[in-house]
Structure 1
């Protein structure tokens, strides 16, 4: 009977323990609570049974990591709440342990992982923390390699640095400005829900004496054991974290992690800009607008890892410097909060809240991001293009691009209606075309028959739109992504070119990562290499799609090939008729026109850029074939361009009037 009673008491104790843990991790107070064998401390906990009876079954907990001072375990308690249990190794007396718990428990800051409770018995020293679902900075930077490696943008890295610096500053203020963390490294910094750095494992170096491994390159050179840690050595450790954020190279070896690197030696080898480019993470080097910020953070990191203790900055100085970098970044790239800006001449009919709150569906995923159809509460529908990855232009550069876009108003160029510009995202708002894109009409699930006259009219309109784009900025503007999914059909079956100039707004995307590269010219290895000549090539592919009814990339017996390669192989066999869409063969009278358009398309997709025609020539040839006369606006532009090159339209009109006035004088 006594054995049964003992088991019952053990089960009751375990149940109480679970309930108390649940209450602890749901409490509003951030003060730590003790779970002791014999007494309660700042809580009602009083569990009188050995540690093994208290649901701390370490064999069933998921081990998160083994650190310098013990092991960390992830545990799930009632209602799915997850906690971290730090199990300390080494000898420390119970009074000393509790004294340190009092000190650590009094450090309350959003960037310091709060001690939620602790447990002390004859053989165990346990510390309880919140579980950070986003993991540690080490895991974020080094946890995956190759294609699985997480993308970590500059904003996140800067926020990690700022958050960690603020946390260390709060620690250094405690205990008469004498408290030391003692083990600053990326595996002890976690990401909070806003992606700021949060410092964990505070004060363990002050409790447990241990000798640091000489191969661990995250510690200051004067630190041989925990007896030598100081606030200056904390600054050295933080400097190493900054270098990790910049280089994405690790200084410590964890199971399954990358080979450790001597980062101080690495950055010390920088003698030129070319060498500096090899030091920074290649993902960051794709974004030229942040290079200045990266260099500033590098300079801070180098100061922190100085061999001379006296030359290392104090943490409040570092916090100010990092916050200044973030502040300048915000000012140069525009405000972080989203603000909807309507293009000049457009009457605002909805707000940013209404736009973001509208029901939406994905229209397509393109080279530079996704396009959404948004249905507003007022009944209107709009198309919203969300650019992915980094924005590689400043607010001023973006506004200049918007001014060029606004001034090119043309019936065959889709007008931008509004935009959102924040540091790391651009939303572009256009009219929605109910008839959809040329791609959808030719290849989509709900594709419909387009007769030859309609196809030819769309081709002429698209060519005119591209020509209008090319004329801007003294013949320097490039669309950069001409394809059938970016050509839309209006309600009266005309064509209009959309999404122009996006290649200038985002960081380069390499060809192999493009969703569909069949429309790209052979010289375009990434989106930074686009030109007006590559636009002509891409338009040639569109013409081939119109003629053949096939995708820009098609499947054959030998695998997937581009439409250009397939048509070239067919023409070499002189099987010209096989090129044409079977649906067009019902128009035998138009066969000659189809062959002429095919010839224009093949000229456009010439391998050598210099052999491709320019868009004004293409427009004229298509107009002649279709019998569609040039618009009055096109005629006027051609006359002005032939006579005066590329001055502004207002100035060119002024010149023209000066020439005409004498002939009009009686």
Structure 2
């Protein structure tokens, strides 16, 4: 499969390509072509540069293929393909200058995400040449790139390189060695910008504040969780509130941290708390999320009973379960259906604007040190097969969600202390009660006022017990859980 996928093709969803990925594609491909041009005394030609002949290598840089195939057979060039330079009439009069032209087309593809044979203008080069001035130039770029204002200067420089490469006269085109240096300079500019930009906002979000504003905000401690302490920060100027989580024991390199944050930042879904921004330095790792004023599901279910405490209605508990299941299932569908939440628990679930469960902190487990597992397991949410934080899986996420379901049904925490000080795991307690046929004793006393919902509660209990089965293979998939819960909720 070639590396660029254009929207609009039936049955295809265009792959996400952030600016850093596009830069690595351009840098790698340019280096590869420049290396080819140095061979055979500086006379070797590729002859068939196009996006379908470029792939990603193990370092995720562009890598060119099909070297030398074009000149083996003399055939007329189909100019309708729009990759070949205008002076190329057949496959045997290709040159290094025509390679540069074809590479320029690739740069225009990366910038515009349009096919070389552009549907409306008939020619991508003509389309780009038709715009004048900074404002009109912005109309050329892929809308996905325009969301990030910090890369505008880099995109314009890249566009200028592309247009120099596709000059109609071969003598006016750049040499590939020159192209490599110019694109590497842009890549260095991008790296410097990322390092200098203290607070990195996820794509699609326009910064409403910066690091200094955050440090001046009024702060309230929300609590200490598995991976660090969470604070509510409120900006002094406009009173906007958000959650800042200070991560402890991060065990990945800076580059790996940025890559994982980019993946987490792209998990846009109404039942997944969106990562707003993040900060990485030698001594500090911060992640920012939206603030949910109602508090977590844990505080709603297990908060102190008193004058200000409102018991959760059955419908509210059901919406929490449905929403959280949808959110986890969405996470599991990302990155080729390999992504894991890693820390599913009721204190990481909130209510969205529609009153459905919304999961937070997805994917953070893979950033942490392995030693944290004893802390994780003591919380009562972690599957028995886990050996360390790197072995979390989608099946262990299902286990954590099953524990949350049991909390919603019983009103009891995932783990609590008995009178003799011994820890009681909720999963073990529920299984014990059901085994002795005291199923009615399982449910929260607050739910007894819904006798007509008894069948639905029993079905939810069944799902919770299957999800918390000791053998991972006996557990449901999250997509299956979503379907069953949606059937129950009607």
Length-normalised TM-score, structure 2:
0.58
Instruction: Please show how residues 495-644 of structure 1 align to structure 2 within 5 Å.
Output: 495-514=357-376, 516-557=378-419, 559-627=422-490
Match of 1:361 among 195, 201, 220: 220
Instruction: Please show how residues 315-330 of structure 1 align to structure 2 within 5 Å.
Output: none
Aligned to 2:241: 381
Aligned to 1:440: 299
The answer on whether the counterparts of 1:438 and 1:484 sit within 8 Å (CA) in structure 2 is yes
Partners of 2:353 and 2:375 in 1: CA distance: 34
Deviations 1:154-213 (A, max 9, x none): xxxxxxxxxxxxxxxxxxxxxxxxxxxxxxxxxxxxxxxxxxxxxxxxxxxxxxxxxxxx
**Larger deviation: 557-566 or 340-349?**
557-566
Partners of 2:219 and 2:241 in 1: CA distance: 10
Deviations 1:5-38 (A, max 9, x none): xxxxxxxxxxxxxxxxxxxxxxxxxxxxxxxxxx
* Secondary structure in 2 matching 1:602: helix
| Higher RCO structure (Cα 8 Å, ≥6 apart) | 2
Partners of 2:228 and 2:417 in 1: CA distance: 25
The answer on whether the counterparts of 1:480 and 1:502 sit within 8 Å (CA) in structure 2 is yes
Partners of 1:352 and 1:515 in 2: CA distance: 35
Count of residues paired in the alignment: 294
Partners of 1:566 and 1:361 in 2: CA distance: 36
Partners of 2:401 and 2:433 in 1: CA distance: 20
The answer on whether the counterparts of 1:367 and 1:514 sit within 8 Å (CA) in structure 2 is yes
The answer on whether the counterparts of 2:416 and 2:423 sit within 8 Å (CA) in structure 1 is yes
Give 1:425 shift: 2.7
Partners of 1:409 and 1:490 in 2: CA distance: 13
Give 1:574 shift: 0.6
Match of 1:371 among 230, 236, 242: 230
Give 1:475 shift: 1.3
* Secondary structure in 1 matching 2:251: coil
Instruction: Please show how residues 275-354 of structure 1 align to structure 2 within 5 Å.
Output: 339-354=198-213
Partners of 1:513 and 1:411 in 2: CA distance: 30
Deviations 1:307-353 (A, max 9, x none): xxxxxxxxxxxxxxxxxxxxxxxx99x85x88111111112111211
Partners of 1:467 and 1:491 in 2: CA distance: 19
Aligned to 2:150: none
The answer on whether the counterparts of 2:416 and 2:425 sit within 8 Å (CA) in structure 1 is yes
Partners of 2:368 and 2:418 in 1: CA distance: 34
The answer on whether the counterparts of 1:370 and 1:386 sit within 8 Å (CA) in structure 2 is yes
Give 1:375 shift: 1.2
Label 1:512 to 1:447 Cα distance change in 2 as closer, same or farther (>3 A).
farther
Match of 1:481 among 343, 353, 358: 343
Instruction: Please show how residues 449-460 of structure 1 align to structure 2 within 5 Å.
Output: 449-460=311-322
Give 1:554 shift: 2.1
* Secondary structure in 2 matching 1:509: helix
Label 1:590 to 1:531 Cα distance change in 2 as closer, same or farther (>3 A).
same
Deviations 1:14-65 (A, max 9, x none): xxxxxxxxxxxxxxxxxxxxxxxxxxxxxxxxxxxxxxxxxxxxxxxxxxxx
Match of 1:397 among 241, 247, 256: 256
- Structure 1: which 5+ runs fail to align? 1-330, 628-666
* Secondary structure in 1 matching 2:380: coil
Deviations 1:558-612 (A, max 9, x none): 5211100111111111100111000001000001000000000000000011111
The answer on whether the counterparts of 2:265 and 2:276 sit within 8 Å (CA) in structure 1 is no
* Secondary structure in 2 matching 1:504: helix
Question: What do you get for the CA RMSD once the two structures are aligned?
Answer: 1.9
Instruction: Please show how residues 46-445 of structure 1 align to structure 2 within 5 Å.
Output: 339-377=198-236, 378-389=238-249, 391-445=250-304
Aligned to 2:51: none
Length-normalised TM-score, structure 1:
0.43
Give 1:555 shift: 2.5
Partners of 1:602 and 1:574 in 2: CA distance: 14
- Structure 2: which 5+ runs fail to align? 1-190
Partners of 1:447 and 1:551 in 2: CA distance: 17
Partners of 2:212 and 2:410 in 1: CA distance: 44
Give 1:400 shift: 2.2
Aligned to 1:494: 356
